[in-house]
Copies of this chain bind each other. A is one copy, B any other.
Amino acid sequence: MPSASSRAAERPARDPSATSCRKAQGVAAQGVAVVSACASEFGEEFCGDLRRLMEWRRDVRRFRIDPVDEVVLRAALDAFDLAPSVGNSQPWRLVRVESAQARRMVRESFERCNAEALAATDPARADLYARLKLSGLREAPVQLAVFCDAATDQGHGLGSRTMPEALVHSVSGAVALFALCARAHGLGVGWVSILDPDEVTAALDVPADWTLVSYLCIGYPCEADDVPELERAGWQSRKATSLLMR
């Protein structure tokens, strides 16, 4: 890694952040010599619990059918108000799906898409695929469709001119934070992507220019495990993330 001084030399003297950083150095100096894996005021115990939460936070497909406490759900949904977004555009649009008709249409889209996926699956893996439970659409007491409104004026387009996909990235990032927050509050969340997004968009009667990012099944999980269900079922194990250097 290039030394700090060489990067400091690159930096124009008038860069306002340089000044604010130099001012901050003194104050923050004691934070520099890190002796543990947690250098924040949140502390070791919180960081350890956060890691355990992330180990736990796996896609849930098996839900208890009892209703979700609305106070718990609201606390988890606050994650959307707190999530960062490109240009502060907050492009996520949430639709809570309650009507029997809308749920049936979504479930039928899943069943059709899943049957097609099974038919297209390598015969050597088809039996295993057929045995997998891939959604909690029948049981999950709360179901939430999350769309991206890429036409939003909010944020005035900042950050999304050359990479407009940053809007969708903001939405899927917020969904990930919601799912983590929900798990911390005792709720399981399952992200269903075996759907025809046009069918779901039509079923929910939302603006045609909204893009479906995620359909979420939410409820109290039947079981807790720190190994993903697809890994336990022998479909796909995890690999360590590799890091290229450039």
Once the chains bind, are A246 and B204 in contact (CB under 8 Å)? yes
Q: How far is the CB of A132 from chain B (nearest CB, A)?
A: 8
Once the chains bind, are B166 and A169 in contact (CB under 8 Å)? no
Once the chains bind, are A49 and B42 in contact (CB under 8 Å)? yes
Give the copy number.
2
Q: How far is the CB of A120 from chain B (nearest CB, A)?
A: 7
Once the chains bind, are A245 and B113 in contact (CB under 8 Å)? no
Once the chains bind, are A159 and B40 in contact (CB under 8 Å)? no
**Listed residue (A32, A65, A78) with the most chain B CB atoms within 10 angstroms of its CB:** A65
**Listed residue (A46, A133, A185) with the most chain B CB atoms within 10 angstroms of its CB:** A185
Asked whether A186 and B34 contact (CB < 8 A) given A1-B67, A206-B244, A246-B98, the answer is yes
Once the chains bind, are B86 and A193 in contact (CB under 8 Å)? yes
The answer for the CA separation of A4 and B235 in the assembled complex, in Å, is 31
Sample of 11 A–B contacts (CB below 8 Å):
A4-B67, A4-B141, A20-B222, A21-B222, A38-B72, A84-B179, A88-B237, A95-B244, A96-B244, A172-B172, A172-B176
Q: Which residues of A contact B (CB under 8 A)?
A: 1-2, 4, 7-8, 10-11, 15-18, 20-21, 24-25, 28, 31-32, 34, 36-40, 42, 46-47, 49-51, 53-55, 57-59, 61-67, 69, 71-72, 74-75, 77-84, 86-90, 92-100, 102, 113, 116-117, 120-122, 125, 129, 132-134, 136, 138-139, 141-142, 145, 154-163, 165-166, 168-170, 172-177, 179-181, 183-187, 191, 193-197, 204-206, 212-214, 220, 222-223, 228, 230-231, 235-246
